[in-house]
Amino acid sequence: MASNLLEMQAITKTFPGVKALENVNLKVKEGEIHALMGENGAGKSTLMKVLSGVYEFGAYEGDILFKGETCRFRTISDSEKKGIVIIHQELALIPQLSVAENIFLGNERSKRGIIDWYKTELETRELLKTVGLDEKPSVKAGSLGVGKQQLVEIAKALSKEVKLLILDEPTAALNEEDSENLLRLLLSFKGQGITSIIISHKLNEIMKVADSITILRDGKTIETLNVHEETITEERIIQGMVGRDLTHRYPLRTPTIGDIGFEIKDWTVYHPVQSERIMVDSASLNVRKGEIVGIAGLMGAGRTELAMSLFGKSYGQKISGTILKNGTPIKVPTISAAIEAGIAYVTEDRKEYGLILMQDIKSNISLANLSSISRRYLVNDHQELVEAERYREKMAIKTPSVHQKTGNLSGGNQQKVVLSKWIFTEPELLILDEPTRGIDVGAKFEIYSIIHDAASQGKSVLMISSELPELLGMCDRIYVMNEGRITGEVAREEATQELLMKYMTRGRD
C-alpha cells in the first residue's frame, strides 16, 4: 500500500469561545483522492486552512507531517512552496485580468522584475491544454462561465507544481456536465500522481471518485472509510455526518392537490442587454394549489430567467405572454405588484440577492411585507418582534436571538430566514431557486419540511433545482427546460434521472 503523503495529527484549533477542531487526525495516502465530508460547521474548511497556512503555526495545536517531515507553515506561500495548493469555494480570479495573468498572479514568469509575456503565454497554453480548457490565454477571466473559471483555478494550481490539491466544494456552482468534466480531470490527475483532497456535499460525486473518505462532525474526526476495502453506501456516509440514521432523506408527504393556481402561457423573454437574444422561448406551464412542481435543466437553460421575469419582470426585456391566477389574467409589471399578487421568489444566491447581511433576523424577515406590521406608514417594532419570534420557532432558526445579524448565521439558517421572509408575505405562488444550495444534509431536511408545509397550506410551489435526486424526491411534477424552451413535462411516477437528463439535453429540432 502506498505511504502517507500527509498526516495531520491531533489538530486542535480554538476560536474565542468555540473549539472548531478537537484532536482531528487526517491521513492522506500518496496518489489517492481523499474526500473530506461533514455538515456545515463540522470543521472541514478550518482544517484545510490550518493545512494551507492561513492559520499560522502556533495558532493551532498538533502536527502536520508532509512527506514525512514536520511542517510549520507561517503563510500560504510556505505551504504552496511544498506543493500544497487550495482552491477555495469562492473563486478567487480577478475578472478584469486575462486568464494568463490570473494563472501566474503572484507567481509571474519574469526576469529581474520584468514579466516575460512569451513564456507566460506558452506555459498558459500548455496548462489550459492539460485541464482541457479551449480558450485563449488573453481572454478575460470574468467573461468565462463558472465551470471554465474553475478550470482556470486548477490550471493556476498546476502552475505551482502541485503535489497535493485541495478543492473546497469545487462543484457547488457547476451544472452536471461541468461537474462530470471536473471529476474526470481529478481522476486523470490521480493517474499523474497528484493527490487530491476534495470537500463536497454531493454524495454521488464522492462515491464516484473518492478512494477514502474522512468524516468530520462537530470538529472531531468520526471515521475514515476506505472505499476499496468495504462497500459504502450513501446512507452510511450520511449517518456518519449527522450522527443519526437518516433513512428518509426527504420527509414523507401525502399531497392534496387542488385546482390550477397559476398558469403561464407563451412566456417569452429577451436578454436585458443583447436585445436579440432570446432567453425564454414561449414557455407554458401551470402549478396547482398544494402542488410542488420542479423545473429541471442545465445551467443556462433559462430557469432562473423564467422565474425572475415572472417575478415582476425583474429580469429581461421585451417580455410577452400571460400569467393567469385562478384562471384570470393578471398583470405584474413590478416586483411590488408581484408581491401584491401573491408571488414570492427565493433567489438562488441568498447572500447576494436574498439577505441584508448587516441587518438582524427580524428586519430581514419583515422587509418584503412591512405594511402588514405597520399602521399607515409607521412600523410597529413590537409586532415585528412577535412575528420574527414566531418564525424563529416555526422554522427552527438556530440563533440566540432574532436580533442576531444574518451575516453571522450558517447557510442553512440563512436560508430559513429567507424562506421566513417570503412566507411572511403570504404568497400563493412560491418560487424557489436552488433552495438547498450549499446547505448541509441535516438542514436540507428541515428546508424540505418547510417546503412541504407551504404546499400543504395550499400554496403553489415552483422549485428550480440542479440536483436531480432532489427534484425526484420533492416534486409532484417536473418540467424540463433547455435553451429557453420547455422540452418536457414528467409526472412523479414516471420520473427518473435518465429521462430528465434526456429532456435536459434535447436540442432544437
Binding residue for another protein, selected from 345, 391, 448, 479, defined by CB under 8 A: 345
Q: What is the DSSP string of 70-132?
A: E---SSHHHHHHHTEEEE-SS----TTSBHHHHHTTTS--EETTEE-HHHHHHHHHHHHHHHT
Nearer to another protein, 408 or 457 (CB): 408
Q: Which helix (H) or strand (E) holds 320?
A: strand 317-325
In whole angstroms, give the CA distance from residue 179 to residue 183. 6
- Using CB under 8 A as the binding rule, whether residue 114 contacts another protein is answered as no
Q: For strands 164-168 and 84-87, give the pairing.
A: parallel
Nearer to another protein, 366 or 466 (CB): 366
Nearer to another protein, 325 or 350 (CB): 350
Answer yes or no: are the C-beta atoms of 198 and 167 closer than 8 Å.
Answer: yes
Q: List, in sequence order, every residue forming a beta bridge with 213; answer none if it has no partner.
A: 35, 225
Residue count, binding to another protein (CB under 8 A): 35
In whole angstroms, give the CA distance from residue 73 to residue 58. 9
Cβ partners under 8 Å of residue 509, min gap 6: none
Binding residue for another protein, selected from 91, 146, 335, 341, defined by CB under 8 A: 335
Here the cell at position 360 is 438582524
Nearer to another protein, 160 or 325 (CB): 325
- Using CB under 8 A as the binding rule, whether residue 354 contacts another protein is answered as yes
Residues 378-437 that bind another protein (CB under 8 A): 378-379, 381-382, 385-386, 405, 408, 421
Angle at 129 between CA 127 and CA 130, to 5 degrees: 65
**What values do phi and psi take at 271, rounded to 5?**
-60, 140
Nearer to another protein, 148 or 350 (CB): 350
Residue matched to cell numbers 421568489: 345
Binding residue for another protein, selected from 355, 397, 478, 490, defined by CB under 8 A: 355
Q: Please identify, among the stretches 49-57, 140-148, 363-371, 467-475, the one whose residues bind another protein according to the rule CB under 8 A.
A: 363-371
Q: Compute the least distance from the CB of residue 351 to another protein, in Å.
A: 9
Q: Per-residue contact track with another protein, 40 to 69, x per CB under 8 A?
A: ------------------------------
How far, rounded to the nearest angstrom, does the alpha carbon of residue 63 sit from its chain's CA centroid? 32
- Using CB under 8 A as the binding rule, whether residue 320 contacts another protein is answered as no
Binding residue for another protein, selected from 336, 456, 457, 496, defined by CB under 8 A: 336
Enumerate binding residues for another protein (CB under 8 A): 311-312, 314, 334-336, 338-339, 345, 347, 352-359, 363, 366-368, 370-371, 374, 377-379, 381-382, 385-386, 405, 408, 421
